[in-house]
Amino acid sequence: MTIRCGVIGYPLAHSISPAFQQPAFDYLGLDVSYRAYETPPGALGAFMQGLRGEEWLGCNVTIPHKREVLDLVDDVTEEARLIGAVNTVAKGPAGRLTGDNTDAAGFLKALIEDAGFEPRGRGAVLLGAGGAALAVAVALLRAGVSRLWIANRTAPRADVLARSLVGHFDGARLEVVAMDGQGLRRPLAEASLLVNSTSLGMAHGPDPDASPVPPSLLGPHLVVYDLVYNPPQTPLLEAASRAGARGQEGLPMLIYQGALAFERWTGRPAPLAVMMERGRRALRGR
């Protein structure tokens, strides 16, 4: 029997997860079929019930189901509880489902290993207050940043995000600032890291040509990490390069969160080089 695995979300046309997960199963000779299962909100409950069947290994979860899945699994890891979202479901014995979140760990691995940035004791500016921003905030606070400034177009959402973190991490100073030139000027002068977790600059997103910060506020003292992975070179990363800042593209985080999910499902080390190469190839085809 071919075992099934996949990604659920709605819509799913943008997902490149099948392009790098299936080759990983194939590379290890595992008889698993990984597909995109477009799942409208009304169909989520039935899908999750079906996932308990013996032919399933588990699934990845993406927009808009990451929060709802929290209530549809039997166990939730501490990480997923803190982030308030599930991106990976693993099936255990007797069809028991565990919801986990590998986004924060994937982000941190890319930050340290690909960008060469050690967060402990440094200051960081985080743009955005959606699901990805919360995972990034948890990762940075756990890794010991000394200060975290959070800015979002809809300011009350940044307040909610900041409040959800207070009490979980001792010692870090959290501050919500306006997402405009005035609000970001001082934080960007003092910080060593800027992370964009808004969807600005994303192909087919709200504004593919926009940078979320005025380029004049960037400088060589910053590492600029854009979570947007399509296109690989975003308007923000182009501005960072012109300002002499070091840039970090979004694809490695996507691959690492997927690789961690792969390891939860299979108990085997993920073939990272294969996954990265296939991920890049899939983006080139977009």
Ligand X SMILES: NC(=O)c1ccc[n+]([C@@H]2O[C@H](COP(=O)([O-])OP(=O)(O)OC[C@H]3O[C@@H](n4cnc5c(N)ncnc54)[C@H](OP(=O)(O)O)[C@@H]3O)[C@@H](O)[C@H]2O)c1
Q: Which residues carry out catalysis?
A: 66
Q: Are 119 and 129 in contact (CB under 8 A)?
A: no
The residue type found at 218 is L
CB-wise, 154 or 216, nearer to ligand X?
154
Q: Quick count: other Cβ atoms within 10 Å of Cβ 109? A: 20
Count the helix, strand and coil residues of the chain and give each as a percent rounded to the nearest 5.
40, 20, 40
DSSP class per residue in 217-257: G--TT-EEEE---SSSS-HHHHHHHHTT-EEE-SHHHHHHH
Is 211 an interacting residue with respect to ligand X (CB under 6 A)? no
What phi and psi, each to the nearest 5 degrees, are found at residue 225?
-115, 115
DSSP-derived secondary structure letter, 113? I
Is 15 an interacting residue with respect to ligand X (CB under 6 A)? no
Q: Applying CB under 6 A, which of residues 202, 240, 259, 270 lies at the interface with ligand X? A: 202
> CB of residue 87 vs ligand X: minimum separation in angstroms?
8
Is 253 an interacting residue with respect to ligand X (CB under 6 A)? yes
Taking the C-alpha atoms of residue 120 and residue 101, their distance in angstroms, rounded to an integer, is 22
Tokens found for residue 11:
């819509």
Is 129 an interacting residue with respect to ligand X (CB under 6 A)? yes
Using alpha carbons, select from 28, 46, 29 the residue that is nearest to residue 37: 46
Q: Applying CB under 6 A, which of residues 71, 74, 75, 207 lies at the interface with ligand X? A: 207
What phi and psi, each to the nearest 5 degrees, are found at residue 99?
-95, 130
Q: Are 276 and 250 in contact (CB under 8 A)?
A: no
Is 235 an interacting residue with respect to ligand X (CB under 6 A)? no
CB-wise, 222 or 260, nearer to ligand X?
260
Is 128 an interacting residue with respect to ligand X (CB under 6 A)? yes
Tokens found for residue 203:
């192909």
Stretch touching ligand X by CB under 6 A, among 5-13, 169-177, 203-211, 274-282: 203-211
Q: Applying CB under 6 A, which of residues 157, 246, 264, 280 lies at the interface with ligand X? A: 157
Tell me if residue 82 falls in helix, strand or coil.
Answer: helix
CB-wise, 98 or 248, nearer to ligand X?
248
Stretch touching ligand X by CB under 6 A, among 114-122, 142-150, 185-193, 197-205: 197-205
> CB of residue 146 vs ligand X: minimum separation in angstroms?
24
Strand locations in 128-222, DSSP E?
147-151, 173-177, 193-196
CB-wise, 4 or 152, nearer to ligand X?
152
Is 265 an interacting residue with respect to ligand X (CB under 6 A)? no
Stretch touching ligand X by CB under 6 A, among 44-52, 69-77, 201-209, 239-247: 201-209
> CB of residue 227 vs ligand X: minimum separation in angstroms?
4
> CB of residue 255 vs ligand X: minimum separation in angstroms?
8
**Contacting residues toward ligand X, per CB under 6 A:** 63, 103, 128-133, 152-154, 157, 197-200, 202, 205-207, 227-229, 250, 253-254, 257
